[in-house]
Amino acid sequence: TGGSVTLVGAGPGDPELLTLAAVRALRGADVVLYDDLVSPDVLAFARREARTMLVGKTGHRPSCRQEDINVLMIGLARQGKRVVRLKSGDPGVFGRGGEEIAAAHEAGIPVAIVPGVTAAQGAAARLGVSLTERGVARRVQYVTGHDRDGALPEDLNGAALADPGVTTAVYMPRRTVPALVARALAAGLPAATPAVAIVDATRPGERRVITTVGDLKDAIATLPAGPCLVLIGDVLRAARSGVRAPAAD
């Protein structure tokens, strides 16, 4: 039978936040190409006989170039393999999924996407907050902390960041948070706006600091290394530490 490529969202970290479709795709895969942010507990859903290959790509560590990942993925699918490209969070939210989908289309390889819970939604759930709230936030936005060159995107919309009716999630902001905060404050966001920085959201080692936009730069520096997310907005006034789903038994 013919090979295929399935982009699968691994969710924010906790393997319980995988979808049934993700588990099914992992169990059916001949090869799993995974990012360095994917939990080992998630990878454990693959069959023992499946090949699993770390291709990196997230974080700031040296990793395979995107073009090399595409060549590998397409080459394996052409050999008739069912290839799962496993990405942290949702493949459609800062996952560079579009480039891999385009490569598969160009090669005439069937491609499908299994969406996942993105880090912002996982982190909010653990904080016990809703990202939107009547009368508080009628818009939620996810922005990337860095552009192609690792800097804050030049044209990241300052007015969109400073809007009092928005909740903002900044993905992988460590290096660029000072620039982002400066831009938001210059555009009128009050320095007292609540903010939370989270490392390893939904994982056993999750660490967070509940702060304000004005103190965010110093607060984030107190967190250990690891995948980081920042949430900003008035909905975070209700943030509580360590809300976990009760065991169902």
Which residues are known catalytic residues? 35, 57
Output the furthest CA–CA distance in the chain (Å, rounded). Answer: 59
- Please say which residue, 63 or 130, places its beta carbon nearer to a second copy: 130
Q: Does residue number 214 form part of the binding site for a second copy (CB under 8 A)?
A: no
Cβ atoms 34, 55 nearer than 8 A:
yes
- Could you tell me the smallest distance in angstroms from the CB atom of residue 105 to a second copy? 8
Structure tokens at 79: 């050999």
Q: Does residue number 239 form part of the binding site for a second copy (CB under 8 A)?
A: no
User: In this chain, which of 44, 182, 192, 243 binds a second copy, going by CB under 8 A?
Assistant: 243
Structure tokens at 4: 């295929």
- Please say which residue, 11 or 227, places its beta carbon nearer to a second copy: 11
The β-bridge relationship of strands 4-9 and 82-87 is: parallel
Q: Does residue number 109 form part of the binding site for a second copy (CB under 8 A)?
A: no
User: What's the rounded Cα separation, in Å, for the pair 219 and 222?
Assistant: 5
- Please say which residue, 56 or 215, places its beta carbon nearer to a second copy: 56
User: In this chain, which of 60, 79, 80, 102 binds a second copy, going by CB under 8 A?
Assistant: 102
User: In this chain, which of 44, 112, 182, 221 binds a second copy, going by CB under 8 A?
Assistant: 112
Q: Does residue number 96 form part of the binding site for a second copy (CB under 8 A)?
A: yes
User: What's the rounded Cα separation, in Å, for the pair 128 and 130?
Assistant: 7
Taken as a whole, the chain contains a residue count of 249
User: In this chain, which of 75, 110, 150, 178 binds a second copy, going by CB under 8 A?
Assistant: 110
Q: Does residue number 91 form part of the binding site for a second copy (CB under 8 A)?
A: yes
User: In this chain, which of 40, 48, 49, 249 binds a second copy, going by CB under 8 A?
Assistant: 249
Q: Does residue number 71 form part of the binding site for a second copy (CB under 8 A)?
A: no
User: In this chain, which of 44, 67, 138, 192 binds a second copy, going by CB under 8 A?
Assistant: 138
Q: Does residue number 65 form part of the binding site for a second copy (CB under 8 A)?
A: no
Instruction: Give the bridge partners for 177, in sequence order.
Output: none
- Please say which residue, 125 or 209, places its beta carbon nearer to a second copy: 125
Question: What phi and psi, each to the nearest 5 degrees, are found at residue 228?
Answer: -120, 145
Q: Which residues have a Cβ under 8 Å from the Cβ of 122 and sit 6 or more positions away?
A: 11, 12, 13, 14, 17, 201, 202
Q: In what order do the strands lie in the sheet with 82-87?
A: 51-54, 31-34, 82-87, 4-9, 111-114
Place of tokens 């993905």: 171
Sign of CA dihedral 152, 155, 156, 162: positive
Q: Does residue number 147 form part of the binding site for a second copy (CB under 8 A)?
A: yes
Query: Residues 150 to 189: which contact a second copy by CB under 8 A?
Result: 153, 155-157, 159-160, 163, 165-166
Q: Does residue number 231 form part of the binding site for a second copy (CB under 8 A)?
A: no
